[in-house]
Structure 1
Amino acid sequence: MNNQNYVYLKVEQNGWVMTLTLLREAKLNAMNSAMMAELTDCFRRIHDRSDVRVVILTGSGKAFMAGADIEEYSGFDLGAFFSFQNKGREMYRAIEECPKPVIAAVNGYALGGGFEIVLACDMVVASEKAKFGLPEVNLGLVPGGGGVQKALRAVGPYAAKEMLMTGRFLTAQEGLDLRIINQVTSPDQLLEVATALAQTIAEKAPLAVQGLKKLVNEGRDASLETAQAYDRAYLANLFYSTDAQEGIAAFVEKRPPVFVGK
């Protein structure tokens, strides 16, 4: 996929891994309506791409994304503001519903809507210089892109309330301690580490990987019994897939499997 004439998004592909880079460096990649539309469009296009197995999302310059563009919505009336929020919700949903794993490679500030994008991703690799936060309280607002409920589910009510009510920024190490970050690395190795993780996942059976994303996301808020029943049903559906039969045969024959996503 080329850049589809995107202004705020660079699209690159290396094998099974697609890397998306936010391109609004002068504004610390602050999210405006056009950027939201481009991200929504891009993730919807990725949805059915059989040649993409893992996506990396990162930012250019000193920030991953420093939140929504406050200058854009500062003059909105209530209707326009809700329209802006709805566009954001479409973008987050496009990321969440993308069947391919999405890895956030956080190089700097991930604040407000930027942190909400991180929370919409499946895994997070962060630079030692990264900062995370939901500082909407400083504007007299609350997060509107799912940040409240996702933070609650990610870190628990006490840590979430402290983070939300103070608006303070978390360091990468704090994010690691709270288990909202998978790995912390030096700034110059960020994309290398994220790409290595992406390539490891891309080598696995695509249908199983996509199924695991779905099972974890949907099972999180279900009862244990319901979630386990869903797991078993999904396993049964996968058993006669080409990839499952290949994986089983390769194990018996003591050779590396070759997965084709069928």
Structure 2
Amino acid sequence: MSMNHYDYIKVEQDGGVATLTLLREAKLNAMNSAMMAELTDCFRRIHERADVRAAILTGSGKAFMAGADIEEYSGFDLGAFFAFQNKGRDMYRAIEECAKPVIAAVNGYALGGGFELALACDLIVASEKAKFGLPEVKLGLVPGGGGIQKALRAVGPYAAKEMLMTGRFLSAGEAMELRIVNEVTEPERLLPAAASLAQQIAEKAPLAVQALKKLVNEGRDASLETAQAYDRSYLASLFYSRDAQEGIAAFVEKRDPVFTGK
């Protein structure tokens, strides 16, 4: 399953961590149909690869992703516009449904669909130069890639309404205060910080990490009782895994565990 055949993504792997870099620098990495299809394909492949335990997504140049390519869809009729939106939804879903945790390393502008792309990831590390925003209201539109509901769940209704209705940009510091971003770093430390976080996760038991992603993503919209029952069922199934038995044995024997994802 090669991940080296893309035009708009560079994929590099270091141990169990894959780093994806968007390569449309001249357009501030704006999403076009081809890029969306490549990202969808790439994350579906990562989902299947046992040798990848975590992924980092970042942008080249001054932007993480400055939204959708407006020039591409400006002449669309309604059917073509919704087809374009559906390709974006497939891309976000490929990240959300990828069993492996995905860290967005936001180096610059993450606007519109670019902010939604970061919100589709599991964790966000941001450069001090990063800017976040959902400015679709300035075009007479609303976010269509999940940004409204994810912003609502991340920051609450009042902060979400203010951000969405004004279309203003958030600094990395503001995003950190709103608990959207996990860590803010100097620009030159962005990728090392994201890689360090990814490596910490990659060292843990893969089946447990994958279960945690699924339980958090699906449990947030369930009732407390339903979500807790789901947690317990996963705990029971993991108890008989080789990794759980290895983790317990390593704890008792006071040594580092060796997890294999089985």
TM-score range, shorter chain: over 0.9
Instruction: Tell me the CA shift for residue 5 of structure 1.
Output: 2.0
Aligned partner of 2:251 in structure 1 is 251
Gapped regions of structure 2 (runs ≥ 5): none
Q: CA deviation at 1:128?
A: 0.2
Distance across 2 between alignment mates of 1:195 and 1:150: 25
Whole-angstrom distance in 2 between the partners of 1:60 and 1:180:
22
CA contact (8 A) 2:8 2:24 kept: yes
SS of 1:47's equivalent?
helix
Counterpart of 1:106 in structure 2: which amino acid? Answer: V
Confirm whether residue 169 of structure 1 aligns to residue 169 of structure 2.
Answer: yes
Aligned residues: 262
Runs of 4 or more above 4 Å deviation? none
Q: Is the 8 A contact 1:3 1:9 kept in 2?
A: no
Corresponding residue for 1:29? 29
Alpha-carbon contact 2:63-2:110 (below 8 Å) kept: yes
1:214 counterpart residue number: 214
**2:110 aligned counterpart, secondary structure:** strand
For residues 129-148 of structure 1, the C-alpha deviation after alignment (integer angstroms, 9 at most, x for no partner) is 00000000000000010100
Aligned-partner residue type, residue 171 of structure 1 = S
Q: CA offset at residue 48 of structure 1?
A: 1.1
Q: Which residue of 2 aligns with 1:83?
A: 83
1:55 is aligned to: 55
Q: What secondary structure is seen at the aligned counterpart in 2 of 1:138?
A: helix
Q: Is it true that 1:205 corresponds to 2:205 in the alignment? A: yes
Superposed displacement of residue 2, structure 1: 4.3
1:250 aligned counterpart, secondary structure: helix
Paired AA for residue 99 in structure 2: P
Given that 2:28 and 2:63 are in contact with CA atoms closer than 8 Å, whether structure 1 keeps it comes out as: yes
Q: Deviations over 1:191-232 (max 9, x none)?
A: 000000000000000000000000100000001111001100
Partner Cα distance (2:157, 2:249) in 1? 46
- How far is the alpha carbon of 1:82 from its aligned partner? 0.5
Q: Counterparts of 2:12 and 2:256 in 1: how far apart (Å)?
A: 28
Alignment partners' CA distance in 2, 1:217 and 1:33: 26
In the alignment, which residue of structure 1 is the partner of 2:72?
72
Contact kept, 8 Å, 1:205 with 1:259, in 2: the verdict is yes
Measured in 2, the distance between the counterparts of 1:120 and 1:65 equals: 13
Residue type of the alignment partner of 1:215:
L
Tell me which residue corresponds to 1:118: 118
Give the superposed CA RMSD. Answer: 0.7
**Structure 2 residue identity aligned to 1:34:** A
Return the alpha-carbon distance in structure 2 between the equivalents of residues 113 and 126 of structure 1: 17
